[in-house]
Chains A and B, each alone.
Chain A
Amino acid sequence: NAGVTQTPKFQVLKTGQSMTLQCAQDMNHNSMYWYRQDPGMGLRLIYYSASEGTTDKGEVPNGYNVSRLNKREFSLRLESAAPSQTSVYFCASSLDPGTSGRTDTQYFGPGTRLTVL
């Protein structure tokens, strides 16, 4: 099993350009997540998909859109990139979102390092 895979690993964009970050998991998980991590900081949730066919906003959704293409794939799109979106982006998945008060174990991909000039 490859686990969670992300493409690309690195990307440089100019302000205003658009791009899509791809994420796929082969663990038959129901829930998937997109995070960003800025230097020296913890992760911040952008969007999540509790199950196939559903998506919800996280803590920092502005400037991003997502698509849960199928159970395996969850993509993140930047429509008009800004320098403030320079960050490392992590995709994660879990079997289920968890129950009230408890989050299910999340499995993370290797990340995409994005620089917006």
Chain B
Amino acid sequence: LAKTTQPISMDSYEGQEVNITCSHNNIATNDYITWYQQFPSQGPRFIIQGYKTKVTNEVASLFIPADRKSSTLSLPRVSLSDTAVYYCLVGDHIVGNYQLIWGAGTKLIIKP
């Protein structure tokens, strides 16, 4: 049973801010939200992780509203090299029962 729902694809232009929203209505109290980026023919790469409110690092921001039923990955001033598939994950690890359900992701295409 998928834990997250995100758009299949999005387009944007160089220099724009891109926001990708993920829905996770059944998120559990302890669950964190994690985003990965995957380029063609490569393994995924960690972008950001958060639990509530806002998290920012050198490449992205993650906005999580109070009810935590959705989250938004924000990529500032994208470039062509940001073209990739982005995965939103709600993972939980309980000793002896590891689950990390990956959806199909959002294919982001950046145009010049």
Contact = CB atoms under 8 A, between A and B. Distances in A.
Contacts of A102: 30-32, 49, 51, 91-93
A109 B92 contact: no
Interface string A98-117: 11111101111111000000
Interface residues of B, number: 30
Contact of B100 (A45, A90, A107, A109): A45
Contacts of B94: 100
B102 A103 contact: no
Given A42-B102, A45-B100, A102-B51, 13 more contacts: A42-B104, A43-B102, A48-B98, A101-B29, A101-B92, A101-B93, A102-B91, A102-B92, A103-B91, A103-B100, A105-B46, A106-B44, A110-B42
Interface of A: 4, 35, 40-45, 48, 50, 56, 58-59, 90, 92, 97-103, 105-111
